[in-house]
Amino acid sequence: MNTPYFIAKRYLFSKKSVNAINFISGISMLGVFVGSAALIIILSVFNGFENVVLSMYNTFTSEIIVEPSKGKSFDPNAQAFLSLKKDQRIENYTEVLQEKALLRYGERQHIAMVKGVSDDFLKRKQLDSTLLEGSFTLREGETNYAVVGSLVQLYLTLNIHNDFEPLNIYSPRKGAGNSINPADEITLKSVQPSGVFQIQPQFDETVIVSMDFARQLLEEKQNVSAVEIYLHPGISIEKFQEEISEKLGDGYVVKNRIQQNELLYKILNSEKWAIFIILTFVLIIAVFNIVGSLTMLVIDKKKDIVILNSIGASNSLIQQIFFMEGMMISLIGCITGMAAGLAFCLAQQRYGFITMADVSFESDAYPIGLQVSDFILVFLTVTVISVITSRISSRLSVKTLSQMKEQL
């Protein structure tokens, strides 16, 4: 039997001569309980928000994007891309031709990104969830349509239900020189808006059109700006990225989602870690209550300490008893706190009883994202802090041992 653990357990659950010691121990355990539960809940909420934001970004940010390392466009009919297009691991292969252009609607005008996409773009999941109004229609028969971002609609006061007012798009002609008539240097195409989408500001200043319309506008017969790729579930994105990077060579840049949105991922991670650090400091304060609890316990059990030492218990064994006591207070509070946090998160996921005001997400309930790594992180954090505080407190049990013997 582990003697220090057995004695520590008896000390923890037995009645003390001074009721304040039980109260202080309870407060210490409650502090760790609340801190651990709060960490689990806050981290899970941040995970939920991260999942929601990234799912919105991921509708327009492909898992893999291939761009030219030099210049703005490349030939998608090269042998490497023809074989890549037939790769069975690819679920969606979209060719993109994009360039900034001047938009004009009525008397208003605005410069925005015009993005021409191949037919596979419309096969992507969750496109309709980004729509504020209208439909995601780019072509019907011989008629071209455009889906505009919410900021474009705002700047142009665009009405997609007005069939008599088209959206005019102006783009400089390729290789146009000085001309007597400036209009000869510009390509003008008109298109009818069919819908309005909203994701994030960096996407909401975009006009999405069919590839045919983009080629006519930009006078580009063959080249594309990028190829966007989605893989089938279960396929390793990292391995696929590395493989096609080697096949395509230095002439192309292959990026995954993190590389496409480095700033976004950095912001999400920095916010999460900032909150974690703040709550960890609160948890440290709660755990350090154990010092006071164990100090009181040492005073209460000084007779026991002297007797144990007299019958042969070493100083290290006495220290281990109070070290175990502090660890038990912390870990019981930590484990029950994490369990309570888990129960709260599961209840929020199922019932969504805490809601947000003025949100444009699919659900107005606070999102929750549970990750095993968060539970491990919280447990390790509490354990490290508890080891330090319990080690400090346990030294008090033998520091004044000689004085205790004299007093008794």
Confidence of residue 400 (pLDDT cuts 50, 70, 90): low
Q: Please give the backbone phi and psi of residue 59, each rounded to the nearest 5 degrees, phi first.
A: -65, -35
The model carries a pTM of 0.69
Give the tens place of pLDDT for each residue, 222-270.
Answer: 899 999 999 999 999 999 999 999 999 889 999 988 888 878 778 878 8
> Which of 260, 277, 301 is where one domain is finished?
260
Same domain, 85 and 53: no
Same domain, 28 and 124: no
> What pLDDT does 322 receive?
75
Give the tens place of pLDDT for each residue, 147-206.
Answer: 999 999 999 999 999 888 999 999 988 766 565 556 667 889 999 999 999 888 888 999
Task: Tell me which residue of 354, 377, 323 sits closest to 7, measured CA to CA.
Answer: 323
Confidence of residue 362 (pLDDT cuts 50, 70, 90): low
> Which of 260, 278, 313 is where one domain is finished?
260
Same domain, 212 and 93: yes
Domain extent for 389: 3-57+265-407
> Which of 260, 281, 309 is where one domain is finished?
260
Q: Across residues 207-218, what is the average pLDDT?
A: 95
Half-sphere exposure (Cβ direction) of 211: Cα atoms closer than 13 Å = 17
Bridge partner list, 252: 68
Same domain, 275 and 389: yes
Same domain, 88 and 158: yes
**Domain count along the chain:** 2
Same domain, 170 and 90: yes
Same domain, 41 and 83: no
Mean pLDDT of the chain: 83
Give the tens place of pLDDT for each residue, 325-348.
Answer: 788 888 888 999 999 999 999 999
Same domain, 306 and 358: yes
> What pLDDT does 301 receive?
63
Helix boundaries (H) for 157-236? 201-204, 211-218
